[in-house]
């Protein structure tokens, strides 16, 4: 009898010794996730801006595989035993979480209207509601480099079967955007001897240029036209850009950079594109614009420095830094709050007007709180005059002011890709997460 009792006591003790630390560790992680979620909600960073995971809570078994699969870090967390999107703004939509989920409980969806909004209507050949105008890559709602590459190739394979341009002074296809989808479309056109031009508003590379982290993950190996298989599934941003530059040089790809396409008109089976410096006539157009849009620039000296950005992807990458946020809308305020919530960042918000107008009530309350706690310095009636290597020069009511600076975030509005699509007559449908 005694022996049985001892065995039971030992078994119970053993269970407690192994289970209690596990439960504690689990609770600690859950509390951390809950805290982070609360913080993200305050700064509006809980909501996704692009493709993001939608978790089916009925299917989710709370195993946490998706949380660990995400290379971005703490985008997902486990709360009440279920996977939860806690830092949506940091999600880049590569869907590694969905691939890793053992029960298929994660689907990728676009962001809510107002964050990212509607998707264009396209058919199985990527043709939009404007005949002869095609949409590929992230603009069509598909994230990931491998999808952009695959669609860039397929769209030109389809166009190569259509009647070519009727005149010598026009190209068969004008490709807008030199991200992975536009570059692959150009390579395929080159391979198929189609007359083409790629037009890019900035530099080649697309969204890749904006990555705050070094590593780029390809969920599957990809095959590029002319070049062949890319041997890596992981690379640094610099390696990928070097590869694109090598390909462009070797193939002599026809690209015009720093040429923004501002309008496209169509008539008689022809498209006339207006770019920064000229007009281009094409039989077909491939829109490979991505979803970042065209941010409005300040037009001040030094704005080309790499420390200047027009979108905040991950506030957590900044520690102990002097950061200037420019703008007075919700995006600027949310960014300033997000950055000021991180360890020891010194955040200054510069706005050209004397007060914020038309901002969300939630943001007004939070920014007032951050200003009163001296977590954010606010400079109303100020304008950036010059961005220097370690400082920024501002004009203020009290004269010129030079402040220490390591990063500048500018939120001065601009054109969203959907505004451009609507302007050129493309119809949209809505997909809401």
Going across the sheet that includes 399-404, the strands are 383-387, 391-396, 399-404
Q: Which of 128, 294, 341, 382 binds ligand FAD (CB under 6 A)?
A: 294
Residue with tokens 């290597």: 389
Strands 234-236 and 215-217: antiparallel
The residue among 219 and 342 lying less far from ligand FAD, judged by its C-beta, is 219
Q: Interface with ligand FAD includes 137 (CB under 6 A)?
A: yes
Question: Nearest-CA neighbor of 410 among 254, 248, 302, 285?
Answer: 302
Window contacting ligand FAD (CB under 6 A); options: 8-16, 133-141, 164-172, 334-342 = 133-141
Encode burial over 218-241: b for 16+ CB neighbours within 10 A, e otherwise.
beeebebbebeebeeeebebeebb
Dihedral over Cα of 416, 419, 423, 425: its sign: positive
Helices then strands, counting H and E runs in the chain, come out as 9, 27
- Least Å distance between CB 340 and ligand FAD? 21
Q: Interface with ligand FAD includes 52 (CB under 6 A)?
A: no
The residue among 322 and 431 lying less far from ligand FAD, judged by its C-beta, is 431
DSSP state of 315: G
Number of shown-chain residues binding ligand FAD (CB under 6 A): 37
Q: Interface with ligand FAD includes 128 (CB under 6 A)?
A: no
Q: Interface with ligand FAD includes 127 (CB under 6 A)?
A: no
Strands 279-287 and 171-176: parallel
The residue among 270 and 415 lying less far from ligand FAD, judged by its C-beta, is 415
Going across the sheet that includes 308-309, the strands are 308-309, 407-410, 322-326, 346-350, 376-379
Q: Interface with ligand FAD includes 177 (CB under 6 A)?
A: yes
Residues in the chain, how many? 433
- Least Å distance between CB 403 and ligand FAD? 28
State how far the Cα of 142 lies from the Cα of 68, in Å rounded to an integer: 23
Q: Interface with ligand FAD includes 155 (CB under 6 A)?
A: no
The residue among 94 and 318 lying less far from ligand FAD, judged by its C-beta, is 94
Residue with tokens 């941010």: 295
Q: Which of 63, 217, 230, 251 binds ligand FAD (CB under 6 A)?
A: 217
Window contacting ligand FAD (CB under 6 A); options: 35-43, 58-66, 119-127, 141-149 = 141-149
The residue among 42 and 313 lying less far from ligand FAD, judged by its C-beta, is 313
SS3 163: coil
Q: Interface with ligand FAD includes 175 (CB under 6 A)?
A: no
Window contacting ligand FAD (CB under 6 A); options: 11-19, 126-134, 205-213, 404-412 = 205-213
Q: Which of 216, 247, 325, 408 binds ligand FAD (CB under 6 A)?
A: 216
Window contacting ligand FAD (CB under 6 A); options: 103-111, 176-184, 342-350, 374-382 = 176-184
Residues 6+ apart with CB under 8 A from 134: 122, 125, 126, 127, 128, 155, 158, 159, 284, 285, 286, 287
Radius of gyration for the chain, computed over Cα atoms and rounded to the nearest angstrom = 25
Q: Which of 60, 67, 92, 194 binds ligand FAD (CB under 6 A)?
A: 92
Window contacting ligand FAD (CB under 6 A); options: 52-60, 288-296, 334-342, 395-403 = 288-296
Q: Which of 97, 178, 367, 378 binds ligand FAD (CB under 6 A)?
A: 178
Count the neighbouring beta carbons within 10 Å of the beta carbon of residue 113.
Answer: 13
Q: Which of 88, 186, 206, 225 binds ligand FAD (CB under 6 A)?
A: 206
Q: Interface with ligand FAD includes 144 (CB under 6 A)?
A: yes
Binding residues for ligand FAD, per CB under 6 A? 92, 94, 137-139, 143-146, 148, 176-182, 199-202, 206-208, 210-211, 216-218, 260-261, 288-290, 292, 294, 313
């Amino acid at each position: 009898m005694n022996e049985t009792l001892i065995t039971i006591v030992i078994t119970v003790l053993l269970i407690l010794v192994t289970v209690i630390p596990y439960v504690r560790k689990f609770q600690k992680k859950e509390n951390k996730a809950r805290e982070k979620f609360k913080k993200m909600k305050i700064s509006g960073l809980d909501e996704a801006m692009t493709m993001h995971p939608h978790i089916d809570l009925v299917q989710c078994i709370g195993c946490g595989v998706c949380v660990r699969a995400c290379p971005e870090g703490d985008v997902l967390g486990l709360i009440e035993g279920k996977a939860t999107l806690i830092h949506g703004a940091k999600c880049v939509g590569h869907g590694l979480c969905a691939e890793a989920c053992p029960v298929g409980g994660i689907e990728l969806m676009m962001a809510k209207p107002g964050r990212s909004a509607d998707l264009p209507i396209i058919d199985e050949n990527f043709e939009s509601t404007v005949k002869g105008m095609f949409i590929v890559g992230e603009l069509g709602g598909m994230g990931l480099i491998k999808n952009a590459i695959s669609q860039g190739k397929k769209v030109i394979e389809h166009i190569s079967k259509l009647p070519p341009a009727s005149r010598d002074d026009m190209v068969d296809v004008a490709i807008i955007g030199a991200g992975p989808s536009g570059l692959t479309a150009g390579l395929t056109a080159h391979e198929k001897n189609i007359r083409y031009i790629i037009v890019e508003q900035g530099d080649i590379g697309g969204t890749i240029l904006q990555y705050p982290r070094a590593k780029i993950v390809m969920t599957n190996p990809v095959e590029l036209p002319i070049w062949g298989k890319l041997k890596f599934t992981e690379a640094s941003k610099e390696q990928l850009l070097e590869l694109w530059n090598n390909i462009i040089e070797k193939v002599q790809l026809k690209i015009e950079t720093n040429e923004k396409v501002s309008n496209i008109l169509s008539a008689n089976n022809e498209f006339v594109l207006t770019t920064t410096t000229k007009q281009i006539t094409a039989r077909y157009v491939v829109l490979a614009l991505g979803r970042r849009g065209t941010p409005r620039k300040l037009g001040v000296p030094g704005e080309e420095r790499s420390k200047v950005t027009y979108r905040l992807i991950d506030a957590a990458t900044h520690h102990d830094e002097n950061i200037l946020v420019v703008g007075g809308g919700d995006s600027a305020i949310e960014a300033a709050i997000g950055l000021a919530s991180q360890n020891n960042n010194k955040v200054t918000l510069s706005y050209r007007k004397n007060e914020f107008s038309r901002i969300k009530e939630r943001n007004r309350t939070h920014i007032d709180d951050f200003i009163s706690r001296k977590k954010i310095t606010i400079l109303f009636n100020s304008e950036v005059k010059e961005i220097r290597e370690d400082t920024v020069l501002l004009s203020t009511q009290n004269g010129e002011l030079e402040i220490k600076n390591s990063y500048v975030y500018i939120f001065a509005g601009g054109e969203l890709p959907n505004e451009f699509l609507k302007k050129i007559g493309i119809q949209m449908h809505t997909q809401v997460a």
